[in-house]
Structure 1
């Protein structure tokens, strides 16, 4: 890995704020001329992450250069449907892991993410969806838009990764009864809106606009023994029918719970994640890292002075780190919201 020194290697990660999006093709061409690295991956974000420093809604660029053997990775792009690509082979076998960037406007994006994960031996990928007031450009040796792109790795590239939630449950898990598209009609055979009102309390129930920025729906991940869940926005209610609309298509029989976005619980879960990673990497060096955090986190959830990024350095030490504030975070084979996904590249 290389930070600001000796920028020569095989694969570079580049994340830049959307103020530079129109200049990205020229910037990438200039980098290839000035830096002895021909393969690049990354994307555009409204906020950029670096070692112990975040740059939200301001011009910034962060890059990290790696020296992985070229036989241990391959950059991919142009994946827009699950039918258009076959698993690549690295050293004659399917890849083990991948870092993936995506365009949130792409149709069937959840299926594409699952497809990417399914192309790996581990079934596990990490990454993030571009966030931009422009077109949300990605980088895969060149500038591109739409679909997903990134880099596949063999199992010779040692990694450790974990996810931290930014929301915490406020009630029990419910079973969806009546449902259509993204509208929940009943939970545990009761009107969904009655259940929501009961759990958020009378004050928030009287001000649903305020509740929409604080209360969310959470869909527990099936067959997960860690209690993992994906968070989705509450996008509307129907007071006459007593229904609740969420930012995800759902079906009868699915589990659902309500959760709150809370700085204290987010910090607590962040420390839990870092504790787990500290144990995982014990006795090994951290050569570099990638951090993909939700736009709803950062200063608004953790406080000023790059508190979220400084937590990582305080627990794991100083190492090169780049990333961005995403419009959706990727971990395992799913797209999350309000999470932080940290991936570490390990040495001996």
Structure 2
């Protein structure tokens, strides 16, 4: 059993919604509350309300740029959404703000909390708390775990333990055991402008050559394809993919390989240009990875979300869906689509009245390969929790 809510409200209205959920799910085992606007600025006070209203129930309170549910999305206003569910054992955890080696500490925390069990860990990280490479090898510490999450809007997320303790840190999350791991998928709101090229030379974070050409020449060639198609200044991004596997096809060349699965890639900002060396300053780029260029695109965002929702729904056949979490980049939403509630409508069309709660995030922690996750931008991460039928 699970119930969700979303509302434009202040603290008094929030207490009412929390109490309604508590009554609707009497045997609740865990919950998440996303808050935006003034409630996000007062996340500690919200956590106190959750502690008192959901007494004894472990939960996480997450400051967000916006919130959403199956009913719609709240952007640019004070609001809250949340879900409360029954099933499994939920353990909140938090990493200290100034850990010497946060990557190592996160691996140790997951190993201690989850170990080798089939489990789920939902991570909520403060902006700046995680570097892209910090998540490398995380899955090896909890090989049976499903990992995903997002970046908060500003401050830290707060955990509420069953004993009523409030915990917070650079990364705060929930470990869930004794409950079937969710089906998780992700999709970027971007359209590729070029094929992928292997990175050949990197110096000081500047990509100098890829695919036998200078990185700046590749970017110029890719953006030249935009021409007069762009009605406004487009946001051009780097797309980074792992070295190819045998069954993988370049999305820019799918006409030659319709049956092969497309490349999974993560978007990165182009942080600078080095004209003298014809290079590009990119995060997380190293020799061997593949580089392409993409532009943020509303049509691709809609199609991508519809595609992963369809795939997740298909993968859930034979089980009983309980609830879903949807973590969507703040760079999507109405600012991308030019209309409200685009993504919540897609989810509602696919999952009807399934309880859904989510947020507009500063970045996303998306599934990548078995046991692997990566930081992502302009991405939607959908996690469907279900029980065997």
Range class of TM-score, shorter chain: 0.7 to 0.9
- Aligned partners of 2:189 and 2:379 also within 8 Å: yes
Question: Which one is further off, 17-26 or 192-201?
Answer: 17-26
Q: Does structure 1 residue 252 correspond to structure 2 residue 287?
A: yes
User: Residues 268-347 of structure 1: matches in 2 within 5 Å?
Assistant: 268-332=303-367, 333-347=373-387
User: Over aligned residue pairs, what C-alpha RMSD do you find?
Assistant: 2.6
Instruction: Give the whole-Å Cα distance in 2 for the aligned partners of 1:183 and 1:315.
Output: 42
Q: Give 1:17's aligned residue.
A: 36
Q: Does structure 1 residue 233 correspond to structure 2 residue 254?
A: no
Q: Give 1:48's aligned residue.
A: 67
Instruction: Give the whole-Å Cα distance in 1 for the aligned partners of 2:112 and 2:225.
Output: 54
Shift in CA distance, 108/262, structure 1 to aligned 2, threshold 3 Å: closer
**What secondary structure sits across from 2:301 in the alignment?**
helix
Shift in CA distance, 17/116, structure 1 to aligned 2, threshold 3 Å: farther
Shift in CA distance, 199/26, structure 1 to aligned 2, threshold 3 Å: closer
Shift in CA distance, 159/283, structure 1 to aligned 2, threshold 3 Å: same
Q: Does structure 1 residue 104 correspond to structure 2 residue 127?
A: yes
Q: Does structure 1 residue 64 correspond to structure 2 residue 83?
A: yes
Q: Give 2:235's aligned residue.
A: 214
Shift in CA distance, 166/202, structure 1 to aligned 2, threshold 3 Å: closer
**What secondary structure sits across from 2:276 in the alignment?**
coil
Deviations 1:105-125 (Å, cap 9, x if unpaired)?
Answer: 1254641x3465333233531
Which blocks of at least 5 consecutive residues in structure 2 are unaligned? 6-19, 249-260, 368-372
Question: Which one is further off, 177-186 or 269-278?
Answer: 177-186
- Aligned partners of 2:117 and 2:145 also within 8 Å: no
- Aligned partners of 1:13 and 1:64 also within 8 Å: yes
- The structural deviation recorded for 1:28 is 1.8
- Aligned partners of 1:42 and 1:101 also within 8 Å: no
Q: Does structure 1 residue 74 correspond to structure 2 residue 75?
A: no
| TM-score, scaled relative to structure 1 | 0.87
- Aligned partners of 2:207 and 2:279 also within 8 Å: yes
Shift in CA distance, 169/26, structure 1 to aligned 2, threshold 3 Å: same
Instruction: Give the whole-Å Cα distance in 1 for the aligned partners of 2:314 and 2:40.
Output: 38
Q: Give 2:144's aligned residue.
A: 122
Instruction: Give the whole-Å Cα distance in 2 for the aligned partners of 1:180 and 1:241.
Output: 10
Aligned pairs, number: 336
Question: Which one is further off, 326-335 or 152-161?
Answer: 152-161
Instruction: Give the whole-Å Cα distance in 1 for the aligned partners of 2:384 and 2:222.
Output: 38
Question: Which one is further off, 143-152 or 328-337?
Answer: 143-152
| TM-score, scaled relative to structure 2 | 0.78
Which blocks of at least 5 consecutive residues in structure 1 are unaligned? none
- The structural deviation recorded for 1:202 is 7.2
Shift in CA distance, 165/108, structure 1 to aligned 2, threshold 3 Å: closer
Instruction: Give the whole-Å Cα distance in 1 for the aligned partners of 2:241 and 2:378.
Output: 15
Q: Give 2:3's aligned residue.
A: 2
- Aligned partners of 1:289 and 1:343 also within 8 Å: yes
Instruction: Give the whole-Å Cα distance in 2 for the aligned partners of 1:114 and 1:202.
Output: 34
Q: Does structure 1 residue 88 correspond to structure 2 residue 128?
A: no
- The structural deviation recorded for 1:301 is 2.5
Instruction: Give the whole-Å Cα distance in 2 for the aligned partners of 1:57 and 1:18.
Output: 7
Instruction: Give the whole-Å Cα distance in 2 for the aligned partners of 1:295 and 1:203.
Output: 24
- Aligned partners of 2:67 and 2:359 also within 8 Å: yes
